[in-house]
Amino acid sequence: MSSDPAAGQSGPAPERRRSSDPGAGYVRRETQAQRLDRNFAEMLQEVRVAQAGVQILFGFLLSLAFQARFSSLDTFQLDVYLVTLIAAALAVTFLTGPVAAHRLLFRRGLKDFLVHYTARLTTIGIGFLAVSVVGGVLLVVDVLLSRPVAISIGSALVAIGIVVWLVIPATMLRRRRDPQLFEELDQS
pLDDT digits (tens, 9 = 90+) for 70-111: 889 999 999 999 999 999 999 999 998 888 888 888 888 787
4 in a structural domain: no
According to DSSP, residue 6 is labeled T
Could you give the number of structural domains in the chain?
A: 1
The more confidently predicted of residues 37 and 141 is 141
Is residue 179 predicted with pLDDT exceeding 70? no
Rounded CA-CA distance 75/77 in Å is 5
* 138 to 41, 67, 85, 123, 170: CA distances (angstroms): 34, 18, 13, 23, 27
Length of the chain in terms of residues written: 188
- Within 10 angstroms of residue 167's Cβ, the number of other Cβ atoms is 12
| Banded model confidence at residue 185, pLDDT cuts 50, 70, 90 | very low
| Mean pLDDT in residue range 63-67 | 88
Angle, in degrees to the nearest 10, between helices 32-64 and 75-105? 150
170 in a structural domain: yes
Angle, in degrees to the nearest 10, between helices 111-144 and 75-105? 160
87 in a structural domain: yes
13 in a structural domain: no
47 in a structural domain: yes
78 in a structural domain: yes
Give the HSE-up count for residue 122: Cα atoms under 13 Å, Cβ half-sphere. Answer: 20
| Mean pLDDT in residue range 3-31 | 53
The more confidently predicted of residues 154 and 170 is 154
Supply the pTM of this predicted model.
Answer: 0.70
142 in a structural domain: yes
181 in a structural domain: no
Q: Residue 66's domain spans which residues?
A: 32-176
* pLDDT at residue 188 in the model: 39
**Rg of the chain taking only CA atoms, in angstroms:** 21
